[in-house]
Amino acid sequence: PEECAVFHCRGCWTVLGDSLQLCGQEPPGLSVLICFKVTNDVTWEDSLLIGLEGALLGCAYYLLTCRSCGLAVGFILYSSGSDLAYLRDLFCFFKDSIICYLLKTQTIIEASKVNFPAVTLKE
């Protein structure tokens, strides 16, 4: 409860998820928040995209968007190399597309500036 936050879309402030659903540490090269669950305001198409550069090079994924404003807010990894395999079927929010509302202090902060406690998939 000390570190609880609500994740909002940067474009329209729609609630997309919260820190109680965090389930993993971000991999090198990807600035993401990894969650088990998201709200119904997060949507994705049935068509797969293929990463052409960066950490998602060669990976197949579904793009997550905000239902309210259409902003791309993250991805669901479908296929990847072994280094990112643990992310498959999880919701990965782009930190650049998310604003965090910290419940304890009632403050709004960039997702890239928040350090959540370490969580592993085993927990």
**pLDDT tens sequence for the chain (123 residues):** 567 899 999 999 999 999 989 887 778 889 999 999 999 999 998 999 999 998 999 999 999 999 999 999 999 999 998 889 999 999 999 999 999 999 888 999 998 888 776 655 543
Give the CATH number of the domain where residue 109 resides: 2.170.150.20
Residue at 61 is within a domain: yes
The predicted pLDDT at position 64 comes to 98
The predicted pLDDT at position 44 comes to 95
Residue 65: partners with Cβ closer than 8 Å, 6 or more residues away: 42, 43, 44, 71, 72, 73
Residue at 24 is within a domain: yes
Number of domains composing the chain = 1
Residue at 98 is within a domain: yes
**Domain coverage including residue 64:** 5-113
The predicted pLDDT at position 123 comes to 39
Pick from 84, 100, 110, 119: nearest CA to 15:
100
